[in-house]
Amino acid sequence: MRGVLRELKEYPTRWRQLQEVVKNPIMREALERAMTRFAQGRAQALGSLGDFQEWVEWCREMKDRALERSSELWDRVRESVESRGGTFYLASDAQAAREYIGKLAQEAGATLMVKGKSITSEEMELNPYLASLGLEVVETDLGERIIQLAGEKPSHIIVPAIHKTKEEVARVFSRAWGREVPDDPYLITKEVRKDLRQKFLNAHVGMTGINVVSADVPAFFLMTNEGNGRLCATIPNVQVILTGWEKIVETVEDAFAIFDILPVNSVGLKYSSYLSIFTGPFSWKKGRQLHVVVLDNGRREALKDPYFKEALRCIRCGACMNVCPVYKTVGGHTFAHIYMGGIGAAWTAITNGPEEAREVASLCTGCGTCLEVCPMGIPIPSLVEHVKELVKEKGQAERMAVRLVAKRKLLESATGLASMVAPEKITKLPGPAGIITQERILERPQLPPFHPWALSRGLEIGKGGEVTLYAGCMVEYFYPNISRDAVELLTRLGIPLQIMKEECCGLPARVVGDMGLWEELEAKNKGYMPPDKPLLFLCATCMSGIHDYGEKGGELPPLYDLSQYLLEKLGREPFPGSYQARVAYHFPCHLERHLGIKEEPLELLSRVRGVELVEGEEAHLCCGGAGLYAFKYPPVAAEILKKKLDWLENENVDLLVTSCPSCIMQIRGGVQKRKLPVKVIHMATFLLEACVEIHSRFAQS
C-alpha cells in the first residue's frame, strides 16, 4: 500500500511535466511537419513494393532464420575479417565496447574521431567516454551534428533532430560558430559541409554504424543520404565499424532486400543516396586498420526470451515512431530512454534492463498503430506488456486499480456509490486531479447494472438464444444502456439471445503486466462460455482480450463484433431502418488493429438509409482513451484526442458512432468540454434509434 500511495503522489508532478512537453509549440510544429511528410511519402512509395504484408511475412522469416543461426554466421564473418587483415572484437557489454574503442584510439595517437550516425554508440554512451579520454568526437551526420552542438540526445532513430524547426537549427549553429546563420536549410547544409571538410581530413579515426551484415559473402552494408559515412570510413587511417549482434542476415540477397524496404518504409524514399559495402581494410593505403566491433549488450540473452527475441528483428526504420500517437504528442526525448517509442521500451529492457524500460513502456497506449507499419512483423504492444510484467514492483497503483475492477462485486458497489454521490457530469475535479478534467467532462455511472436488468427481463444465462451476449465491465457497470439497447435491437430484429456469467476479460490486467490475474480471469471466462453458440461483443477491448485466449490453446466459440454479426444476418439486404445525419465512425484500436475488423462497421452504417457517411484518416486515429491511460496520463490523452475533435468539428459531423465504451467515455468527454454539437453513441444505440419503427423480417424466417 505504501508503494501505491507513493506512486499516486508522483502522478501530479508527472502530469505537470507532460503538460509542459505537449504545449511546446516548436517541438509540436517540427513533429507535425515531419510526420505529415513521412506519412505522405510512405503512402506514395509503398506501391512500388507490391503487397506489403507479403514483405512482412518474408522479412520476418528471413530475420528469424538468421537469428537462429547467428553464432554460426558471425563466426563466418569473423574469419573473413581476420583473413583480410582486419580485427574482429565481440564486446560483451557497453563498457567493454567503449574501452576497446578508446584503447585503439589512444594506441593510434588519435586526437580527433569523425563518426557516422550510430544509435548503437548512443546505447553505449560512447561520446562522453571518449571525451573523458581527451578525444574530440565530431558527429558528421547533419542531424547528429545539430544534436551534438545543442547538447541533446537524438529524438528519432532515423532523423535525430526531427523535433527542431529550421529556425531553431539556425540558432544552434549561430551559437556554435559565433555568427549569424540564416534559417535556410540549403545554406545551413552548405555551411556544415564546409565546417566538416577539415574535420574529415584531420581525423585519425573514423567510425560508422552499420545497417546490415551479410554472412554468405561477409560484408557490412551502410545506407546514408549525405555521403558522410563513406568519408568517415575511407579518409582516416583507422576505420571502426560498430554494429549490434542482431544485424546479421544469411545472404547478400537478404541484405539488399532490407534496403528495398527500409527507405520506403521509414521516410518514403525509394532509394537512399549512398549504399556503401565494406568487406575488409582498404588496400590502396599502407597502414590502414579496420576494426569491427560487434556489440552484444543483452542481445544474445534476448534470443532466449520468446518476446524480446522478436525485437531483434528490428531494422531501425523508425516507421513505428512516425505513426505513434504518443510519439507525435510528446516526442522522442520524453518517450524514450535511449531507444524511442514502444519498440524502444523493448530495446531498453534488452540493453539496460527492464527497470530502465518501465517508464517508456508505461507511456505506450497499446493502440497497435505500429503493427500496421512494421516491416518485420514485430508485435510491439506485446513486448511492452512483457516489460511491465518483468517490473512487478513498479506500477502498483495501476495494478491495484485493475485488481479492483476485476472484483465484480466490489466494482458494482463502487459504481453504485459513484452514481449516487457524483453529479451527473463532473466538469472539474479538485486539486491536482483537476488536470484530468481540463480537456474533458466525466460522466456518472448508470444504474442498474446490465445482468440484474437482463435477468429481470427473462434473459437466461447460457440458454434460450442463438447468440450469447458478453457485456464486459464498462458496459455492465458504467454504460448498461448500451447492452439494453443491444437487447432491444436484437429483439426487434427477431434474433433470440442469451447472456453468460462473466468476469472481466482480463485485458486490463495484461496491459499492466499482471499476467497472473490475466490467466485467472481467462480460466474463469472459458469455463462460463456456452461452447455451441457464437459470442457477441459490445466492447472491442473485451473482444480482443477474449480473442487472445485462443493463443494459449483450447477452442473458443465464434467471436463476433455487433457489426460482423448483423451483416452476416442481413446478407445482401439493407439495414431495415433509417437515420438522416452526417455520421462518422471511430475505429477502436483493438477492433481495427488487434482484430483486423476494418470494413464491417462502415459497411453496416452505409446500409442504413439516410446516412451520409463521413470518412477520413482521422476516423482511424487513436482517441487517447485506452482504458486507464486517460486517467494515468491526462495531458497526453487529451492532446491525442484533439485531432479527432478537430476532425469532427471541421467536417460538421452530427453523430459519431463507435464500438468501444472506453472510446465513448474519452470522445464524449472531449466533445462536451468543447461544446461541439456532436452526439457520440455506441453502434447498438445508433442502430436501435435507426430501426425504432420497423418490424423485423427476421422474425418471420
| Cα three-residue angle 544-546-548, rounded to 5 degrees | 70
Mean pLDDT score of the chain: 92
Name the residue type at position 632: K
Could you give the angle at the alpha carbon of 366 between the alpha carbons of 361 and 371, nearest 5°? Answer: 110
The one-character DSSP state at 23 is: T
Calculate the alpha carbon distances from 222 to 33, 88, 188, 277, 583 in Å: 27, 18, 25, 6, 49
pLDDT at residue 347 is higher than 80? yes
> Tell me, what's the pLDDT at 133?
97
Q: Provide the pLDDT confidence category of residue 420 given band limits of 50, 70 and 90.
A: confident
CB 634 within 8 A of CB 439: yes
CA–CA separation, 267 and 278 (whole Å): 25
590-606 tens-digit pLDDT: 999 999 999 999 999 99
Alpha helix (H) ranges present in 164-207? 166-177, 185-202
The kind and range of the H/E element at 50 are: none
pLDDT at 59 over 70: yes
Question: Cβ(489)–Cβ(681) under 8 Å?
Answer: no
The pLDDT tens digits of the residues spanning 195-242 come to 999 999 999 999 999 999 999 999 999 999 888 999 999 999 999 999
- Over residues 620-626, the mean pLDDT reads 95
Most confident of 12-21, 42-51, 235-244, 391-400: 235-244
Residue 394 vs residue 411, higher pLDDT: 411
* DSSP line for 309-344: HHHTT-----HHHHH-HHHHHHHHHHSBSSSBHHHH
Please tell me the predicted confidence (pLDDT) of residue 47: 85
pLDDT score at 632: 92
Distance CA 207, CA 187 (A): 27
Between 619 and 394, whose confidence is greater? 619
Instruction: Tell me the three-class secondary structure of 397-463, residue by residue.
Output: HHHHHHHHHHCHHHHHHHHHHHHHHCCCEECCCCHHHHHHHCCCCEECCCCCCHHHHHHHCCCCECC
Measured distance CA(248)–CA(246) in Å, rounded: 6
- Write a three-state SS string for 554-596: CCCCCEEEHHHHHHHHHCCCCCCCEEEEEEEEECCHHHHHHCC
Specify the domain boundaries for CATH 3.40.50.10420 within the chain.
46-300
Sign of CA dihedral 396, 402, 405, 406: negative
**Grid cell of 264 as nine digits:** 520506403
Q: CA-CA distance, 23 to 15, in Å (whole number)? A: 12
Confidence of residue 5 (pLDDT cuts 50, 70, 90): low
What residue type is 300 in one-letter code?
Answer: R
CATH fold of 568-699: Rossmann fold (3.40.50)
Minimal CA–CA distance to 262: which of 210, 337, 302, 336? 210
- For position 408, what pLDDT does the model report? 83
CA distances to 118, 151, 173 from 166, rounded to whole Å, are 23, 17, 11
As a whole number of Å, the CA-based R_g of the chain is: 28
pLDDT at 460 over 50: yes
Backbone φ and ψ of 23, nearest 5°: -95, 5
First vs last Cα of the chain: how many Å apart? 58
Single out the residue of 132, 126, 163, 129 nearest to residue 147, CA to CA: 163
Segment 456-469 shows an average pLDDT of: 93
pLDDT digits (tens, 9 = 90+) for 244-283: 999 999 999 999 999 999 999 998 988 888 999 999 887 6
Check residue 25 and give its pLDDT. Answer: 86
Cis, peptide link before residue 574, omega less than 30° from 0: no
Q: Report the pLDDT value the prediction gives residue 412, as an integer from 0 to 100.
A: 82
Angle (CA) 323 324 330, round 5°: 125
What is the CATH topology of the domain spanning 46-300? Answer: Rossmann fold (3.40.50)
**pLDDT of amino acid 695:** 40
Structure confidence at residue 4 (pLDDT): 64
Position 344 scores a pLDDT of: 96
Q: According to the model, what pLDDT value does residue 696 have?
A: 40
Give CA–CA dist 163/517, Å, rounded.
40
Q: How many helices and strands in the chain, by DSSP H and E?
A: 34, 20
Q: Is 225 exposed, middle or buried (0-12, 13-18, 19+ CB in 10 A)?
A: middle
